[in-house]
Amino acid sequence: MVDAPMAVVAIDRDGIIRSANATAESFFGGPLIGSSAVPIAGLIDDLKLRGDADEDAVAAFNVRSRSRSRIDGVHMQAWRLDGTPVSVDVEAACFTSEGESFVTLFIQDVTSVMEAERAVLELRFQITQNWRLNSLGELASVMAHELNQPLSAIANHLHAARVLLSREDCDAGVVQQSLDAAEALAQRAGDTIRRLRALLSRDTGYHKAEFVADVIGEIMPILSISAHAGAAELLLDVDPKHQAACDRVQLQQVIFNLVRNALEAPPSGTRRQVRISGQSLGQGAYSIAVEDNGPGIAPEILGRLFDPLVSTKPDGMGLGLSICRTIVEAHGGKINSAESALGGAAFVFSLNEASAVRT
């Protein structure tokens, strides 16, 4: 207990700390045993255990503690002797010494863990926001393209109706045909507009030399959560020495979307595997592949895979792969689909390789 890397204290039946290792006294900021009794309740909020707790009570405490920290993400609140709050996880164990019952508390400082969790959440928010920006830009392009034709045709039909009405021998039936045609085109334009979703905007950033393994590694906690939820295996095979010229968040966005698509592909009867790999192609090019062992790509959409508004998902907007293509091409690269060595689909895209490599 003396040399334990975490704070360890033993409490008696009154909840008083009877022994503490050096790590505990360093963590709490002062001596915990000596002339004045230090109750554990004054250091850790809502800690109801006492030294005379039986094994069932201690086991129940440990179950609750693990559930709070690992499932709900809730940690216990501790206080250093100077009044500084700090978050901790606590586990307990019973022991007896010279006929007296005690409970040992193993106290883990989770401040760095919580900071990492906050960083992951911020990164997830950043990717989501950037995704919305690119979706908005792509959707605006789609809207401009699809609305231009019906709006131009509406103007032509209304102009024709105005000309016909100005004539003395106006044929009401022909005018009605022009108006009906204009109304139908207006309905088509309305249907197109209804495809628009609420998307927020954010700056797109800029391109610079980035270590590809670091960029992808930053979002691996997010991807791993999604993989774990689907009982999938996520593999990363990227040389840590290579750099590519890219917008860090946009590259993460492409990887995020391709991995998500791989995880959400229809089941194929075996545990889902998704592999992210990278390799230098030479002559200033770098290639990244995301592949899976799913059922592959349906032949009927293979030729339209990267077109906007093409989706095999019931609720899909059909913009994911189109946005990926837009981002990759903005980086001077190309993206293509292929058959995966794992048995499913593979998406491979290229970037400009930065000249410097990590030694």
What are 161-176's pLDDT values in tens digits?
888 888 888 888 888 8
Instruction: Give the pLDDT of residue 103.
Output: 92
Nearest partner of 93 among 23, 4, 27, judged by Cα: 4
Number of structural domains found in the chain: 2
Other CB atoms within 10 Å distance of the CB of residue 173: 7
What are 280-315's pLDDT values in tens digits?
888 889 999 999 998 888 777 777 676 655 555 544
Instruction: Give the pLDDT of residue 140.
Output: 65
Instruction: Out of 55, 84, 110, pick the residue that ends a domain.
Output: 110
Residues 234 and 351 occupy one common structural domain: yes
Residues 88 and 218 occupy one common structural domain: no
List 63's β-bridge partners, or say none: none
b vs e for 112-144, b when ≥16 Cβ sit within 10 Å of the residue's Cβ? eeeeeeeebeebeebbeebbbbbbbebbeebee
What are 21-52's pLDDT values in tens digits?
999 999 999 999 877 889 998 999 888 888 88
Residues 6 or more apart from 356 whose CB is under 8 A from it? 209, 243
DSSP element (H, E) containing 141:
helix 111-166
Instruction: Give the pLDDT of residue 196.
Output: 42
Query: Does residue 160 sit within a domain?
Result: no
Instruction: Give the pLDDT of residue 1.
Output: 52
Instruction: Out of 69, 87, 110, pick the residue that ends a domain.
Output: 110
Instruction: Out of 110, 142, 157, pick the residue that ends a domain.
Output: 110
C-alpha separations of 319 from 87, 149, 323 in Å: 42, 21, 6
The CATH number of the domain holding residue 252 is: 3.30.565.10
Tokens of 286: 């770098």
Whole-prediction pTM? 0.48
Query: Does residue 151 sit within a domain?
Result: no
Give me the percent of the chain exceeding a pLDDT of 90.
Answer: 24
Instruction: Give the pLDDT of residue 236.
Output: 92
Range of the domain at 49: 7-110
Q: Is there a contact between 243 and 211 (Cβ–Cβ < 8 Å)? A: yes
What are 133-155's pLDDT values in tens digits?
666 665 566 566 556 666 877 88
Alpha helices in 54-110 (DSSP H): 55-66
Residues 102 and 215 occupy one common structural domain: no
Residues 76 and 219 occupy one common structural domain: no
CA separation for the pair 257, 273 (Å, rounded): 16
Residues 208 and 353 occupy one common structural domain: yes
Query: Does residue 126 sit within a domain?
Result: no
Residues 350 and 244 occupy one common structural domain: yes
The CATH number of the domain holding residue 88 is: 3.30.450.20
Nearest partner of 312 among 324, 328, 295, 325, judged by Cα: 295
pLDDT at 106 exceeding the cut of 70: yes
Nearest partner of 26 among 7, 1, 3, 45, judged by Cα: 7
Section 209-238 average pLDDT = 87
CA separation for the pair 90, 49 (Å, rounded): 11
Query: What letter would DSSP give residue 71?
Result: I
